[in-house]
């Protein structure tokens, strides 16, 4: 490490104005998922910031048509730092929710999820010695907000060759994320029989009514005691107001802390049977993100606690959360993973999205201290985390 803990924190506190300028540049470059021109522009901005701070520019990878940035130092096989530059906000949101810093509160689309985390990460690495990054790989993707369809294989390949994965997703009210639910997306299709609603409705088989029966059955698959949620979300059905609906469908979001619960819910969905004559059901299931269990993060969280103590920071908190991230994918291949190392603030995906400016240097210092500790560590984290 380039300096003892206290000077490291002081150095990063002095860097706060530069951090804010870098964050402003990233937030002002809007980057909604799926808009390749926009995410490419944001990748250019991030690459320039990283090039300035780290003295080297990233590789630019193209997986599935989406841009990914990768910095690799030495063999890059010890610590993987993971983040994403895409946001949920469409182009033009900046006009309604501009980048501002008022009384230490930073606002702007994507500031909390997760552009502040990217800025903190780059400044943390810049605070280490030139030789202090040997063994680090940084991967920044551009499709996380839709489940990383283009980048998930790359993420898992990088995780397999790394001893630890540190995820720069935003914190949960300052707490690190030591467990995450797995997530699954399913869609129930109901096929009925259309008929004129006024002349001969009895000839129809109402897919919307059948769907209503099935939604009541779907919500009963949840298990609050185990933390399993089953949420019917987007509903579609029918074609015209004077026609018995001949088809209907509902999207179903499933979150669970165990693979066993994911499988139980999937089996329950597959076992649904129609209630009305003349209707039929079909369930389509998309790829599932496995849970990030506490066992994947426990050793790393303990080391983060020690790093915070050396820096004189407040004791760390760890929480389990319902949302998924690419940390689920790194844990799934057996790589010890600690998540939520990014920004302190709140309002992810909401109009009140914000970052607390005074926390940025502290979180950057925590990351730098933790990375330095892991690079110096000789025992296998895979064994420590097992």
- Taking residues 277-281, report their average pLDDT: 98
Asked which of 269, 285, 301 is the last residue of a domain, the reply is 285
At 8-34, the pLDDT tens digits run: 999 999 999 999 999 999 999 999 999
| pLDDT confidence bin for 288, thresholds 50/70/90 | confident
How far apart (Å, rounded) are the C-alpha atoms in residues 136 and 126?
12
Asked which of 221, 252, 285 is the last residue of a domain, the reply is 285
Is residue 224's pLDDT more than 80?
A: yes
Q: Residue 287 has what pLDDT?
A: 78
Is residue 187's pLDDT more than 50?
A: yes
Q: Residue 6 has what pLDDT?
A: 73
* CATH number of the domain that residue 256 is part of: 3.30.70.360
Give yes or no for a contact between 335 and 164, defined as CB atoms under 8 angstroms apart: yes
| pLDDT confidence bin for 289, thresholds 50/70/90 | confident
Same structural domain, 139 and 240: no
Same structural domain, 43 and 103: yes
Contact partners, residue 16, CB within 8 Å, separation at least 6: 357, 358, 360, 361
- Taking residues 360-373, report their average pLDDT: 96
Same structural domain, 207 and 148: no
Same structural domain, 68 and 217: no
pTM, to two decimals: 0.88
Same structural domain, 214 and 296: no
Same structural domain, 281 and 299: no
Q: Residue 131 has what pLDDT?
A: 61
Is residue 1's pLDDT more than 60?
A: no
pLDDT mean across residues, the chain: 94
Alpha helices in the chain, H assignment, sequence order: 5-14, 16-28, 36-54, 93-96, 116-126, 152-160, 207-219, 259-270, 294-311, 326-332, 359-376, 381-384
| pLDDT confidence bin for 262, thresholds 50/70/90 | very high
- Taking residues 301-305, report their average pLDDT: 98
Q: Residue 378 has what pLDDT?
A: 39
Reported residue count of the chain is 386
> 143 to each of 67, 155, 304, 351, how far by Cα in Å?
9, 12, 28, 21
Is residue 277's pLDDT more than 90?
A: yes
Domain coverage including residue 247: 187-285
Same structural domain, 69 and 145: yes
How far apart (Å, rounded) are the C-alpha atoms in residues 279 and 204?
10
Asked which of 216, 251, 285 is the last residue of a domain, the reply is 285
How far apart (Å, rounded) are the C-alpha atoms in residues 119 and 236?
41
How far apart (Å, rounded) are the C-alpha atoms in residues 321 and 176?
10
Q: How far apart are the first and last CA of the chain?
A: 27
Is residue 202's pLDDT more than 50?
A: yes
Q: Residue 65 has what pLDDT?
A: 82
Same structural domain, 281 and 325: no
- Taking residues 245-274, report their average pLDDT: 97
CA atoms within 13 A on the CB side of 249: 9
| Residue 356, helix vs strand vs coil | strand
Same structural domain, 138 and 38: yes
Q: Residue 380 has what pLDDT?
A: 42
Q: Residue 179 has what pLDDT?
A: 97
Is residue 385's pLDDT more than 70?
A: no
Same structural domain, 339 and 276: no
Same structural domain, 157 and 48: yes
Q: Residue 5 has what pLDDT?
A: 65
At 83-135, the pLDDT tens digits run: 999 999 999 999 999 999 999 999 999 999 999 999 999 999 999 975 679 99
Same structural domain, 32 and 159: yes
As for how many domains the chain has, the answer is 2
């Amino acid at each position: 490490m380039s300096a003892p803990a206290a000077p490291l924190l002081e150095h990063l506190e002095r860097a706060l104005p530069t951090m804010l300028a870098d964050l402003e540049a990233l937030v002002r470059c809007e980057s909604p998922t799926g808009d390749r021109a926009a995410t490419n522009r944001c990748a250019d901005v991030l690459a320039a910031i990283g090039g300035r701070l780290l003295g080297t520019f990233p590789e630019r990878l193209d997986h599935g048509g989406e841009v990914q940035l990768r910095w690799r130092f030495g063999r890059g096989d010890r610590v993987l730092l993971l983040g994403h530059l895409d946001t949920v906000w469409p182009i033009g949101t900046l006009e309604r929710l501009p980048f501002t810093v008022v009384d230490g509160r930073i606002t702007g689309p994507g500031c909390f999820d997760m552009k502040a985390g990217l800025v903190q990460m780059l400044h943390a690495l810049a605070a280490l010695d030139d030789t202090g990054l040997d063994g680090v790989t940084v991967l920044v993707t551009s499709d996380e907000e839709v489940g990383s369809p283009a980048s998930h294989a790359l993420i898992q390949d990088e995780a397999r060759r790394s001893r630890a994965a540190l995820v720069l997703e935003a914190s949960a009210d300052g707490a690190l994320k030591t467990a995450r639910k797995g997530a699954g997306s399913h869609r129930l299709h109901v096929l009925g029989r259309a008929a004129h609603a006024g002349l001969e409705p009895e000839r129809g088989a109402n897919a919307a009514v059948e769907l209503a029966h099935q939604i009541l059955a779907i919500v009963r698959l949840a298990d609050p005691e185990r933390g399993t949620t089953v949420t019917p979300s987007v509903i579609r059905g029918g074609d015209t107001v004077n026609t018995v609906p001949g088809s209907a469908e509902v999207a179903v979001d499933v979150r669970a802390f165990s693979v066993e619960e994911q499988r139980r819910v999937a089996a329950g969905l597959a076992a649904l049977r129609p209630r009305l004559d003349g209707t039929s059901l079909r369930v389509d299931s998309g790829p599932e993100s496995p849970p990030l269990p506490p066992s994947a993060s426990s050793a790393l969280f303990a080391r983060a606690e020690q790093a915070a103590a050396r820096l004189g920071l407040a004791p760390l908190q760890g929480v389990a959360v319902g949302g998924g991230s690419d940390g689920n994918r790194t844990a799934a291949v057996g790589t010890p993973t600690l998540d939520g190392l990014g920004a302190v603030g709140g309002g992810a995906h909401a109009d009140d999205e914000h970052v607390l400016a005074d926390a940025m240097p502290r979180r950057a210092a925590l990351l730098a201290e933790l990375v330095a500790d892991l690079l110096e560590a000789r025992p296998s984290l895979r064994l420590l985390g097992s």
